[in-house]
A and B are shown apart, each in its own frame.
Chain A
Amino acid sequence: MSLLVFFLQTKKGKIQRVSKKYMKAYWTVAKNTWSEVLAYRASFILFRVRELLQLFSTYFIWYFVTSENRVFFGYTQATMLTYVIVGAFVNDVIFSTRTTAIASEINEGNLSNFLVKPFSYLQYHFWRDFGDKAMNIIFSICELTVFFFLLHPPFIFQHNFLLIFLFVLSLLFGLILYFFISILISFIGFWSNEGWGPRFIFYQTVGFFSGALFPLDILPKSLYSLFQFSPFTYLTYFPTKLYLGELSQKEIFQGFLLMGIWIIVMNRIAIFVWKKGLKTYTAQGR
């Protein structure tokens, strides 16, 4: 946890350790976000229903494609359906975020309320996401339980504890990486009032390149090896394949290394853009 804090706390370009005193404030942010979700129970549940419907549709497509013991690009029915189910869970952990609100907070000038407080706005959003994700994970687990109960899918349970540990670690890396990418998209708000257009394109791009729709290794080899260098691969495909135990040691090592590099790169870009953005914000005032 201190790693996250480490990355987010920057002052005048220098990275500082966050003091314990401030942890309480961030914890309160997470708690408040949690209660906020509960304030809109109906829309949150409808959002979850949408996610569940999506899981159902992807599940059944692959169910029929791989039925009658057909092996599809090296995927048996069990591995493919496990990929779909674990992938859905991974998406819930990594992609649930409140950082989409940053753009409008900038545009409407509510950012000012944060700037006049002795408090880091980026940390604030990170901990908001923490609260939001916690809620999504709980719902995701409940839904999957119901899903298993109804459909009895051919699911591969991973028994290797090391792999499970690495899987959890990759989720943590993935959500940090996605946080920086997502705030970068929102920072468009510093220069434009139309942040939603780019964000929709971004969603489509991520959906395709992350492997949320299909496992990336069914693509032609040359394309697939190129994809390994994109940050999006690490948002769904990498953690899910880790869980399945289908990656070699070398692939696992390389994956974590590239993920780490992407986190540092995105972190630096995000902080750089944030500072540039603040400069224009404080030059114009809103």
Chain B
Amino acid sequence: MAVIVTDHLSKHYQVHKKEPGFIGSIKSLFSRKYETVKAVDDVSFSINEGEVVGFIGPNGAGKTTTLKCLSGLLYPTKGKVSVLDFIPFNRKSAFLKQISLVMGQKNQLWWDLPAMDTFLLNKEIYQIPTGQFEKVLGDLSDRLGVKDILHIPVRKLSLGQRMKMELIASLLHSPKVLFLDEPTIGLDVVMQKTIRAFLKEYNQAYNATIILTSHYMGDVEALCKRVIVINFGKILYDGLLSDLVREHAPYKIIKIILSEKIDEKKLPEFGETRSYSYPEWEVRIKHENANEIASKILKQFPVEDITIEDPQMEDVIAGFFSANKKG
């Protein structure tokens, strides 16, 4: 069942252009020049219940704008949006009670009060029965390991602890649809992993539909089977992450540690050497003949250690974007 549907969704902004400096400011008082920015341009997709979809794209690609259209914060310029059979922009209570938007760079917690006070307010706002509230809060705070800091003022918490509290505040009403905009921004690796694992559990436990944007490919790899890649407001790819990798990065990387120096002239025979500085040698080879080449290398050279790796997601995506440049 499709929970989220967008049909030729477009969102254009009028941005006023100002010449630099003081004179420019004066000029702009009298005659303003406007430019239309197509933040989202004719985007159509459909997402089913329980899916976790990653939005990938560089800064300014239109990811956040799409999320804001889906959560009812932005009025679309053109096209249709439907979430849980509601038109998001009407912001009906029945709709808002079933969704949540988590923005990594904005917080809803009351800064000077313990997170518990925000939770209690959300309990009243979403009219969560006391029994359910206690059960869900207990469950969420257990999973994130924050039981003992619920009563400490938010301003005294670390960034990671705060993010966990933000997540709890957004999930207390057990939303069916969850929009996550950079949920792991600024967090350390361990914390990122915790949050990822938590989101995965949440998705499975509540069969929640999740859309996630992130700059950390790790988030996307860990959580999303399906990705939608956007740039300049347009969808460049919509499909399985594994297919994207296979299509756009059909190679593997062999990393070798040599025990003796070798004749550098022989290196190009095996594939594209990405770096060589004795004793380390890194070579990029075609996906399908990885095993064959690896055994060849083992036979011909004095190898101390050898590993075959998948390409880094960051590299895949970077390669993908440079192949799809505007124009």
Q: Which residues of A are interface residues toward B (Cβ below 8 A)?
A: 21-22, 24-25, 27-29, 32, 35-36, 39-40, 108-110, 112-113, 115-119, 279, 282-285
The yes or no answer to B112 lying at the interface (CB within 8 A) is: yes
Residues of chain A within 8 A (CB-CB) of B118 are 32
Minimum distance in angstroms from B162 CB to a CB of chain A: 14
Q: Are A118 and B74 closer than 8 Å at their CB atoms? A: no
Q: Are B125 and A32 closer than 8 Å at their CB atoms? A: no
Q: Specify the chain A residue showing the minimal Cβ separation from B155.
A: A39
Q: Which residues 111-138 of B have a CB within 8 angstroms of A?
A: 112-113, 117-118, 120-122, 124-127
Minimum distance in angstroms from A283 CB to a CB of chain B: 6
Cα–Cα, bound, A116→B126 (Å) = 11
Minimum distance in angstroms from B61 CB to a CB of chain A: 15
Cα–Cα, bound, A33→B284 (Å) = 60
Contact with A along B71-115 (1 / 0, CB 8 A): 111110000000000000101010011011101001110101100
Cα–Cα, bound, A59→B324 (Å) = 74
Given contacts A40-B112, A118-B125, contact A285 B117 (CB under 8 A): no
Q: Are A25 and B124 closer than 8 Å at their CB atoms? A: yes
Most B CB within 10 A of own CB, among A22, A40, A112, A284: A112
Cα–Cα, bound, A112→B107 (Å) = 10
Q: Specify the chain B residue showing the minimal Cβ separation from A31.
A: B117
Q: Are B126 and A113 closer than 8 Å at their CB atoms? A: no
Q: Are A118 and B121 closer than 8 Å at their CB atoms? A: no
Q: Specify the chain B residue showing the minimal Cβ separation from A112.
A: B73
Q: Are A109 and B124 closer than 8 Å at their CB atoms? A: no
Q: Give the residue of B71, B96, B113, B126 whose beta carbon is less than 8 angstroms from that of A36.
A: B113
Given contacts A32-B110, A112-B103, contact A282 B124 (CB under 8 A): no
The yes or no answer to B215 lying at the interface (CB within 8 A) is: no
Residues of chain B within 8 A (CB-CB) of A118 are 93, 96-97, 125-126
Residues of chain B within 8 A (CB-CB) of A282 are 73-75, 89
Q: What are 26 residue pairs bridging A and B, where the CB atoms are less than 8 Å apart in the complex?
A: A21-B127, A24-B124, A25-B124, A27-B124, A32-B110, A32-B121, A36-B113, A39-B153, A108-B106, A109-B106, A110-B107, A110-B108, A112-B73, A112-B103, A113-B108, A115-B72, A116-B72, A116-B99, A116-B100, A116-B101, A118-B96, A279-B75, A282-B74, A283-B74, A284-B13, A285-B65
Q: Which residues of B are interface residues toward A (Cβ below 8 A)?
A: 13, 65, 68, 71-75, 89, 91, 93, 96-97, 99-101, 103, 106-108, 110, 112-113, 117-118, 120-122, 124-127, 153
Q: Give the residue of B68, B107, B117 whose beta carbon is less than 8 angstroms from that of A32.
A: B117
Residues of chain A within 8 A (CB-CB) of B93 are 118
Q: Are B121 and A110 closer than 8 Å at their CB atoms? A: no
Most B CB within 10 A of own CB, among A25, A27, A40, A117: A117
Most A CB within 10 A of own CB, among B74, B91, B124: B124
Residues of chain B within 8 A (CB-CB) of A27 are 124
Given contacts A110-B106, A113-B108, A118-B96, contact A29 B68 (CB under 8 A): no
Q: Specify the chain B residue showing the minimal Cβ separation from A26.
A: B124
Cα–Cα, bound, A21→B153 (Å) = 27
Q: Specify the chain B residue showing the minimal Cβ separation from A115.
A: B73
Q: Are B103 and A36 closer than 8 Å at their CB atoms? A: no
Cα–Cα, bound, A22→B120 (Å) = 13
Q: Specify the chain B residue showing the minimal Cβ separation from A113.
A: B108
Q: Specify the chain A residue showing the minimal Cβ separation from B65.
A: A285
Residues of chain A within 8 A (CB-CB) of B106 are 108-110, 112-113
Q: Give the residue of A35, A279, A283 whose beta carbon is less than 8 angstroms from that of B113.
A: A35
Residues of chain B within 8 A (CB-CB) of A25 are 121, 124-125
Cα–Cα, bound, A119→B153 (Å) = 24
Cα–Cα, bound, A116→B91 (Å) = 7
Cα–Cα, bound, A113→B106 (Å) = 8
Residues of chain B within 8 A (CB-CB) of A109 are 106
Residues of chain A within 8 A (CB-CB) of B68 are 112, 285
Minimum distance in angstroms from A135 CB to a CB of chain B: 14
Q: Give the residue of B13, B75, B101, B120 whose beta carbon is less than 8 angstroms from that of A112.
A: B101
Cα–Cα, bound, A67→B320 (Å) = 85
Residues of chain A within 8 A (CB-CB) of B91 are 115-116
Contacts A32-B110, A40-B112 known; list 18 others, CB within 8 Å. A22-B124, A24-B124, A25-B124, A25-B125, A28-B121, A32-B118, A32-B121, A35-B117, A36-B110, A108-B106, A110-B108, A113-B103, A115-B91, A116-B96, A118-B93, A282-B89, A285-B65, A285-B74
Q: Specify the chain A residue showing the minimal Cβ separation from B92.
A: A118
Q: Specify the chain B residue showing the minimal Cβ separation from A109.
A: B106
Residues of chain A within 8 A (CB-CB) of B13 are 283-285
Cα–Cα, bound, A110→B108 (Å) = 8
